[in-house]
Structure 1
Amino acid sequence: MKILGVSAFYHDAAAALIDDGEIVAAAQEERFTRKKHDPSFPSRAISFCLEYGGVSINELDAVVFYDKPLLKFERLLETYYAFAPKGLRSFLTAMPVWLKEKMFLKRLIRQELGKLGYDKKKKIKLLFPEHHLSHAASAFYPSPFQKAAILTIDGVGEWATASICLGEGRNITILKELKFPHSLGLLYSAFTYFLGFRVNSGEYKLMGLAPYGNACSPDIKRYEQLILDELINLKKDGSIWLNQDYFDYAAGLKMVNEAKWELIFGIKKREPEDALEQAHCDLGLAIQNVTEKIVILMAREARRLTGADYLCLAGGVALNCVANGKLQKSGIFKDIFIQPAAGDAGGALGAAQAAYHIYFEQERKVSRSGDALKGSYLGPTFSDLDVVLATKKYKAGYTCFEDFDTLTRRVAELLAAGNVVGWVQGRMEFGPRALGARSILGDPRNAAMQKKLNLKIKYRESFRPFAPSVLADECADFFDFEGISPYMLLVHPIAERLRKAVPADYQSLGLREKLYFERSELPSVTHIDYSARIQTVHKSTNPRYYDLIRAFKELTGCPVLVNTSFNVRGEPIVCTPEDAYRCFMRTGMDYLVVGNFLFDKKLQPDWIEKDNWKEEFVLD
């Protein structure tokens, strides 16, 4: 049985194909169109999935969309009615789109499928599970657990903004839901907006900024109390009520009432390119602390309702890896599994799986060797011919290594010498994290590496941390963590033995001074609070990346590399060898490895294309 899952028309459109329950392929549309968070119908992602699976569109048993558009439309109408006459401008903006496109989504989907060869006579089933059911399915069905609590938290689906479910066998039972306009995801996005970052893409920047808050400052507790007293009402089960006097997202065109926020917090809304001040950092830490508290309360309620020993997480808030690390440390559950494409992209996969197990009543096979996501390496791959064609197009110079071990030893030497290396191997990752298939790599022992990567290669804010990739069997020697974190979705501390003391006046230092103070023997992956967003690398899922890190360890004694996504600010992660070469030539990267091909920047022809990535890509 072949089922195609689709998410589209909000942000992070994606497609996923399953065949008799096995995940065959999954990819976001942005990787093909080169438009970050592309919301459009994922025609190219669908074409890839079908081609990779050797399936024609007319052989599908069902196409499954990740939410119920009519239920979402009902929520929209009821919300405007409840807030009337407020929201008239927003209503007049939204209604034409809904009436023209989303009210007739079945017809639109069939039209788009028709462009891909769909024969209307085949009458393929078109199914619409609820948004949070798609999220829950995306986390539970690939997990290694036979029975688990499922917690989904995001901005909003149709009505639900969070849900607690029980997954057992092939069944998912929804036990409790939080309803719009009350939403932890929208609360966090409101602070993202107020602090000058872009909603639906800048939340991870807020998470990275939060540790720069002065934890000893009374302002932190004051901000937290203001949030709890003025903005929300927090219940013991983790449910929240948001005071809509302070928010504008329900019926307006902005996230918050800026004047009221500026009044209660005593700071002005930050614009995207404004300098970051200590007050911004402190407010970021306050909302991060409140978010972690709410997530923990929701998890405790999930444990109480289900009695399950294990937890699965999905929804955009599940990408908050700091909260995930705190949740794991809490011991509420024996173990947790987090969907690597936790946001709307993962909804495409969950929709297909929900149809297979719930609608078609097919039994679930739990993987005996970890989860069923194959390391999240579910996207397109490439051949040597693809690399050669790209080199011919750009007259690129390269060395091709017949022996991969020789290549890894050479790349390890380059990394140890302080070079930055683009690394492209095998199938592309599904989800927002680069996991060693489309990555930019560096030496974590190099104190200048974070600054070099941020300012000369990624062209992004200097405060943002980088993640370590560590050989899975050596993780506990370098981090205060003994489990696995293959999807870079858990934050845990650097091992005590690697830490360096900070000066007594450290908390009073400015952001820049804190940033460049060497805090451990792995300074380029140690965040301001001695934490790190860990990726454990496993030979079973990514043998080439594993072998590279092993070669680096043999040379240096360090089984850790700096790993960041292969893109510049505002650009989607690279997909093809050509994407990789173009990004390589437009940045300060020193070397590029694609398959067995090594490119030295010094040996490349002059780059004659206009270096206009800032105009080509909308900044995130």
Structure 2
Amino acid sequence: MYILGINAYHGDAAAALIKDGKIIAAAEEERFNRVKHCAGFPTEAIKYCLRAAGITIEDVAHVGISRDPSAHLHKKILFTAQRASRQIVGRRRPAVASKLAGLTKGNGELARGISEGSDQDDATEITENGNGHNRGVLRQIADRLGNAAKVRDVKNELAVALSVSKSKLGATFHNIEHHRAHLASAFFVSPFARAALVSLDGFGDFISTMWGVGEGNSIEVMDQVEYPHSLGILYTATTQFLGFPYYGDEGKIMGLAPYGQP
């Protein structure tokens, strides 16, 4: 049985193909289009995986998408509403708003880096000044809704990308919560019958960290860390503070860290 995994409309768009629990092929879209941290649809990566296995999309039984727009939806709505309320108050306190905005000025604007780059799909935008808060919130909501719609309609996008009719896509499609997908990708292709599992990054589906136990063909989530708490965002903010733009250079800072003086 072939299972196709897709990371789409999220940083480092990629595809992976598994047969009976073993990885057949995997690739990131940036390897083909040369766009670093590409966050679109991994058309060429999918084609590569199918070619590597010598199959067509009609041979795939299941397609897993590493995002679930409905996950923690009520928490997302509540957070957005609370943030909008705080911003209205912030407009009456320009000094505070100005100080907050100062945190993102420089070579890398934290807000834009979070928005454009990837693992930070649920992060919120921080504007550079005290104006336009409501407009920023509305734009954020519109962007999130548009992104969610694309994630839900991956079947149609896949048919277009491969130039086939949707009727030929007999696979069952699954939207999987971001960090559950991380845990599954680590455990289900591992040699272990039972293992402790940890997933930690910037953000995905409103969660930054998740841990649990994998046993057999099941995963039990023990706990998780929700937005806005995130070690990944701390790494991103530190990297941007040091002059690297947007998202994706955290590894360089980690590599340089041993050479610094405390």
Q: TM-score range by the shorter chain?
A: 0.7 to 0.9
Query: CA offsets per residue over residues 220-253 of structure 1, 9 Å max, x none?
Result: xxxxxxxxxxxxxxxxxxxxxxxxxxxxxxxxxx
Q: AA paired with 1:130? A: E
**Partner residue in 2 for 1:463:** none
Q: Which residue of 1 aligns with 2:122?
A: none
Shift of 1:99: 3.6
- Equivalent pair of 1:58/1:119 in contact (CA under 8 Å): no
Matches within 5 A, 1:6-85: 6-71=6-71, 75-85=75-85
Partner of 2:151: 105
CA deviation digits over 1:281-327, x for unaligned, max 9?
xxxxxxxxxxxxxxxxxxxxxxxxxxxxxxxxxxxxxxxxxxxxxxx
- Structure 2 Cα separation of the partners of residues 95 and 156 of structure 1: 17
Query: Aligned in 2, Cα 1:142/1:190: closer, same or farther, shift over 3 Å?
Result: same
Asked whether 1:4 is paired with 2:23, we answer no
* 1:131 counterpart residue number: 178
Q: Once the 2 structures are TM-superposed, how far is the Cα of residue 161 of structure 1 from its aligned partner? A: 1.0
Q: Distance in 1 between matches of 2:157 and 2:199?
A: 32
Could you tell me which residue of structure 2 aligns to residue 189 of structure 1? Answer: 236
- Paired with 1:175 and 1:184, the residues of 2 have a C-alpha distance of 19
Kindly state the Cα deviation for residue 68 of structure 1 after the two structures are TM-superposed: 0.3
What are the equivalent positions in structure 2 for 1:164-203 lying under 5 Å apart?
Answer: 164-203=211-250
Match of 2:252 among 193, 199, 205: 205
Whether the aligned pair in 1 keeps the contact of 2:21 and 2:188 (CA below 8 Å) is no
Query: Structure 1 counterpart of 2:237, which letter?
Result: A
Asked if the contact 2:211/2:222 (under 8 Å) is kept, the reply is yes
- Report what 2:160 is aligned to: 114
- Other-structure match for 1:540: none
Which among 195, 200, 215 is matched to residue 153 of structure 1?
200
Q: CA deviation at 1:75?
A: 4.8
Deviation at 1:197, TM superposition (A): 1.7
Letter in 2 for 1:110: N
Aligned residue identity for 1:149: A
Deviation per CA, 1:522-567, whole angstroms, max 9, x where unpaired? xxxxxxxxxxxxxxxxxxxxxxxxxxxxxxxxxxxxxxxxxxxxxx
Deviation sequence 1:449-472 (CA, Å, 0-9, x none): xxxxxxxxxxxxxxxxxxxxxxxx
Q: Is 2:29–2:44's contact at 8 Å kept on the other side of the alignment?
A: yes
1:186, distance to aligned residue in structure 2 (A): 1.2
**Kept in 2: contact 1:130–1:158 (CA 8 A):** yes
Separation in structure 2 between the aligned mates of residue 76 and residue 10 of structure 1, nearest angstrom: 18
The answer to whether the 8 Å contact 1:57/1:117 transfers is: no
Aligned-partner SS, 2:16: strand
1:90 aligns with 2:136: yes
Task: Spell out the pairing of 1:110-509 with structure 2 (5 A cutoff).
Answer: 110-122=156-168, 123-215=170-262
Q: Distance in 1 between matches of 2:72 and 2:240?
A: 23
Partner amino acid, structure 2, of 1:59: D
Distance 1:156 1:101, change over 3 A: closer
RMSD, aligned CA: 2.1
Code of the aligned partner of 1:98: R
- 1:69 alignment partner, SS class: coil
The alpha carbon displacement at 1:183 in A equals 1.1
Query: What SS class does the counterpart of residue 229 from structure 2 fall into?
Result: coil
- Which is worse superposed, 107-116 or 149-158? 107-116
Unaligned runs of 5+ residues in structure 1 are: 216-620
User: Structure 1 residues 101, 142: closer, same or farther in 2, change over 3 A?
Assistant: closer
Q: Mind listing any 5+ residue stretches in structure 2 that lack a counterpart?
A: 88-132
Q: Is the 8 A contact 1:25 1:49 kept in 2?
A: yes
Q: How far did 1:199 drift?
A: 4.0
Tell me how far apart the structure 1 counterparts of residues 17 and 38 of structure 2 sit (CA, whole Å): 19
Provide Cα deviations, 1:62-85, integer angstroms capped at 9, x if missing partner.
111001023376554332211114
What is the match of residue 96 of structure 2?
none
TM-aligned CA deviation for residue 101 of structure 1: 4.5
Identity of aligned residues (%): 39
Structure having the higher strand fraction is 2
Contact 2:3–2:63 under 8 Å retained in 1: yes
Q: Distance in 2 between matches of 1:143 and 1:73?
A: 31
Shift of 1:121: 2.3
